């Protein structure tokens, strides 16, 4: 029988392009848990793509929906959650995430993020003339928040990130539990 701690959601946080959704999907498969993505749920609820929500209703409307969605998601045991990169900007979100989940921050440098997001058109905050500058400035604002939220920091500039994740003691324990 799993302890409550070990059914607590696992949350991936980090900047846009840090690999949260891919990691959540892969880890969920390994654990046989469900994987859920806050952006996908928001788009489904609003029946609009994220750039459309930003354009028609504004960022602050988006953030309010985002807070509601993550609150719901954090109540789901045995789930691996990928949260939008800006979720850590609101203190209420940070407090809730810390309280309800085991949190992994995928930390990526601004150079690599700029490269990975260069073709992305669905991230309104990056649709600016100087994308690299926007990334650097947002990271400066957010890094401390990611750090405050995280139980573990996993560098994800290169290499096999899933292997790194599998070495996190808490994850190791869950994988061991699953096998037994």
Q: Tokens 């920091």 belong to which residue?
A: 153
Residue 19, SS3 per DSSP: coil
Judged by CB under 6 A, which of 11, 16, 81, 161 binds ligand S3P?
Answer: 16
Compute the least distance from the CB of residue 40 to ligand S3P, in Å.
9
Q: How far apart, in whole angstroms, are the C-alpha atoms of residue 18 and residue 93?
A: 19
Q: Which is nearer to ligand S3P, 5 or 121 (CB)?
A: 121
Range in contact with ligand S3P (rule: CB under 6 A) among 92-100, 123-131, 151-159, 170-178 = 123-131
Compute the least distance from the CB of residue 76 to ligand S3P, in Å.
18
Show the binding pattern over residues 25-44: x = contacts ligand S3P (CB under 6 A), - = does not.
--------------x-----
Structure tokens at 59: 């960022």
CA distances to 19, 104, 113, 146 from 150, in Å = 16, 6, 19, 6
Q: What are the beta bridge partners of residue 25? A: none
Q: Which positions lie near ligand S3P, rule CB under 6 A?
A: 16, 20, 39, 50, 84-86, 123-125
């Amino acid at each position: 029988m799993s302890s409550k701690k070990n059914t607590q959601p696992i949350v991936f946080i980090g900047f846009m392009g840090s690999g949260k959704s891919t990691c959540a999907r892969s880890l969920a498969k390994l654990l046989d848990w469900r994987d859920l993505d806050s952006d996908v749920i928001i788009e489904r609820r609003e029946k609009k793509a994220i750039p459309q929500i930003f354009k028609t209703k504004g960022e602050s409307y988006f953030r309010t929906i985002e807070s509601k969605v993550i609150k719901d998601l954090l109540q789901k045991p045995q789930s691996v959650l990928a949260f939008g990169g800006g979720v850590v900007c609101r203190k209420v979100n940070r407090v809730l995430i810390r309280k309800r989940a085991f949190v992994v921050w995928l930390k990526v440098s601004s150079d690599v993020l700029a490269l990975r997001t260069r073709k992305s058109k669905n991230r309104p905050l990056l649709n600016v003339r100087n994308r690299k500058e926007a990334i650097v400035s947002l990271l400066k604002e957010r890094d401390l928040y990611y750090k405050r939220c995280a139980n573990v920091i996993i560098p994800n500039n290169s290499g096999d990130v899933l292997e790194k994740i599998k070495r996190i003691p808490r994850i190791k324990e869950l994988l061991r539990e699953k096998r037994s």
